[in-house]
Chain A
Amino acid sequence: MATEAAQQLIAALTRRRASGAVVSADEVVAALDRQLDAWNVTRVVLADDPLLEQLGVADALGGDRREVLTWPPRLGARELLGLEGPAATCGVSVSVAAVAPRGTLMLAASTGQGRALDAAAAYHVSLVPDDRLHDSLAGALGQVYREGPPPSALSLVSAPSRTSDIEKISTLGAHGALGLHALVIAG
């Protein structure tokens, strides 16, 4: 069941020119590393989330190939937006929930995961444990808003940044992330 929902999520995201994969917990770091290489990312901003810590993501991604920062990254807005420092940055978030049939990831703002983390960076990878997949938007929103105080911001992300404002043809990379990749963690 969970795998089917995960496949649905990835298929819907792929239709909107994002990408994704279903991986086991052991495979997350390698999959993330491959995706960052594919985008030539030189700076990563990780959410300060227990899941990423548990998977050892910060240590595994470091080294001389790229700089790894954790939220809050103590960067000014200009650096966060890539106007200064490396342009190929990637925000790595953890989704609090996701809607499988419509390919929607949900990022809740918190101390460890800022509102701008995914949209200010050039690229975005989100990790989604498969038990957080829902089959409807109403179900997912109900879970977030009824089980505890509402987050100051909940960002629903279903595509890379896109615009059809020039000649009505969809073009990627208007203001938010140019690339979006979801890693659904099975089991």
Chain B
Amino acid sequence: MSERPVSYEDVTGTLRERATEALGDEQLRTNLRASAGSWAAGRKRMDEQYPFQEMREKGREIRTRAVAELPQLLDQLEENLTATGGVVYRAADAAAACRYVVELAQREGADLVAKSKSMATEEIKLNEALEEAGLRVVETDLGEWIIQLAGQHPSHIVAPAVHLNREEVADLFEQESGGPVENEREALVAHARQRLREVFATAQIGVSGVNLAVAESGTICVVENEGNGRLVTALPRIHVAVMGMERIVGSWEDAAHILELLPMAAIGDDAAGYVNLITGPRRPDETDGPEQFHLVIVDGGRSALRGGPFEEILNCIRCGACLYACPMWKSVGGQAYGSPYSGPIGAVLTPVLEGPHASSAGQLPHFSSLCGACHEACPVGIPIHDLLVKARGQATEQRPRSERVGMWLWSRLWSNPVAYGIGRRLARAGARVLGRRGWIERLPGPAGAWTSQRDVPTTWPPKPPSS
């Protein structure tokens, strides 16, 4: 396991406690409902305008092929990018990636880093590493900046501040600027624009993520809607891009398809506002663009997934669609997950990247109804529900011996027709005693944990619950 786990180290309470708290937050649930609703409307529009199913199949084929060819594609990317004057660093884990960027910043005498949105940097905890080294780091994506000011973690891959409303945002802006800020949306956006321009003008280093790299030309793609991705990659003297090693395709034809699918799945639009395709630092005859371009390619447990039961998770293009589609995420939001990756994708990715010895992340795969809505929403057709079941299996292997023996015994008994029949008769008799009013509200012994948050009907259709 890497020195810096994927999960946030400062989250408190268990997943159950965090989820229960989120369920009690009416404002949060209203915000989540509204955001999931607007995502669903956008997706419907895309479904009507484009052959989404066909595009999804092709997307899946492209990603599967790219993951199969990953080592060659990464070599080709490195070769082409190096030829343009860019520097490629392959980091085995989060600690190595952070060390590289911190040392670069120190070597260059930088004190201010402007960041555009990036899941990979959130995963490796780059901000914390830079801040520990005494640098000031400013997130410039509006949602990420709001979250940074609030001292919180993002709640969605694409919409990090989806859990906050404009009154809360205005309060944060007032605290940061020390002056009054109107709580109208346009005014808040204009305020952030003005404040963050100071950062674009003075930062020595711009850090971005990478939505996709294209091996054939040695190019990285930064997809965004605000324009901060462009300013961060164009104005500072040094640009550092951090990518998860799997975010690559071979050709521009493949890249074009993924770049078309991504905004359709993420924001229900057929193009993102800005797609910045960057092939190295500025050329000698150019007058803007960074003098240095560094690409940090993070493994962080990914190469171990190739060829294994979780390989398909590497196909993910981080669109966030499965979050909006998930009944669990829609109920509690992303913060309850305690990981930069929340929702169905996060419930698989967090524990598998952390490895089988992951501590709290082991609970995440159980935080799902296995309804399959995530799979339906996924633009590259990842069977996330199947992977959740596999991840549950992996987490169960880590359970105490007594529990595993109990489960083994249970499975043997229920695979035997006679024992199953006896079990059923006993269960029916038990239900008559415990569920006299049509519902079992409490089971005895360890089974009580199961009924602590749900009632079980003993008739079908269930009787209306008595008040």
Contact = CB atoms under 8 A, between A and B. Distances in A.
Given A141-B252, A152-B280, A171 B273 contact: no
Interface in B268-302: 269-283, 285-289
Contact of A165 (B34, B161, B276, B283): B161
Given A152-B280, A155-B277, A176 B226 contact: yes
B206 to A, nearest CB: 11
B271 A142 contact: no
The prevalent SS among residues of A at the interface is loop
A76 B34 CA distance: 42
B288 A114 contact: yes
A38 B81 CA distance: 43
Contact of A114 (B188, B189, B287): B287
A48 to B, nearest CB: 10
A77 B235 contact: yes
B225 A161 contact: yes
A168 B140 CA distance: 17
A176 B227 CA distance: 4
Interface in B165-217: 165-166, 169, 185-186, 188-190, 192-193, 196-198, 200-202, 216-217
Contact of A158 (B273, B279, B283): B273
Please tell me the size bucket of the interface on A.
Answer: 35 or more
Interface stretch (B256-264, B378-386, B424-432, B438-446): B256-264
Interface stretch (B15-23, B141-149, B357-365): B141-149
Contact of B274 (A141, A155, A172): A155
Contacts of A141: 252, 255-256
B84 interface: yes
A151 interface: yes
Nearest to B36: A168
Given A137-B260, A152-B279, A161-B225, A174 B201 contact: no
B201 A111 contact: no
Contacts of A82: 197
Interface string B148-166: 0000000000011110011
Interface string B402-421: 00000000000000000000
A173 B193 contact: yes
Contacts of A116: 230-231, 234-235, 288
Interface string A157-187: 1111111111111011111110000000000
A77 B201 CA distance: 5
B127 interface: no
B342 interface: no
Nearest to B219: A150
Given A114-B286, A116-B230, A165-B159, A158 B272 contact: yes
Q: Which of A71, A154, A172 has the most CB of B within 10 A?
A: A154
B345 to A, nearest CB: 20
Given A12-B271, A102-B271, A151-B279, A168 B38 contact: yes
B335 interface: no
A76 B329 CA distance: 45
Q: Which of B189, B196, B219 has the most CB of A within 10 A?
A: B189
A78 B276 CA distance: 22
B233 A165 contact: no
A103 B231 contact: no
B394 interface: no
A79 to B, nearest CB: 9
Contact of A152 (B142, B275, B289): B289
A103 B271 contact: yes
A145 B198 CA distance: 34
B281 A175 contact: no
A46 to B, nearest CB: 14
A156 B235 contact: no
Contacts of A150: 84, 217-219, 279
Contacts of A176: 226-228, 230-231, 273-274
A173 B189 contact: yes
A72 interface: yes
Contact of A120 (B235, B257, B282): B235
Contact of B166 (A115, A157, A166, A177): A166
B248 interface: no
A16 interface: yes
B401 to A, nearest CB: 48
A152 B282 contact: yes
Contacts of B368: none
Contacts of A167: 31, 34, 165-166, 185
B289 A153 contact: yes
A152 B283 contact: yes
Contacts of A142: 252-253, 256
Contacts of B257: 138
B197 A81 contact: yes
Contact of A175 (B231, B269, B280): B231
Nearest to A82: B197
B279 A159 contact: no
Interface in A115-163: 115-116, 119-120, 136-138, 141-142, 145-146, 150-163
Interface of B: 31, 34-35, 38, 84, 140-143, 146, 159-162, 165-166, 169, 185-186, 188-190, 192-193, 196-198, 200-202, 216-219, 225-228, 230-231, 233-235, 252-253, 255-257, 259-260, 267, 269-283, 285-289
22 contacts: A72-B287, A83-B201, A111-B286, A114-B288, A115-B282, A116-B235, A119-B230, A137-B256, A141-B255, A142-B252, A152-B289, A154-B277, A158-B275, A159-B225, A159-B274, A163-B143, A165-B142, A165-B161, A166-B142, A175-B228, A175-B231, A176-B227
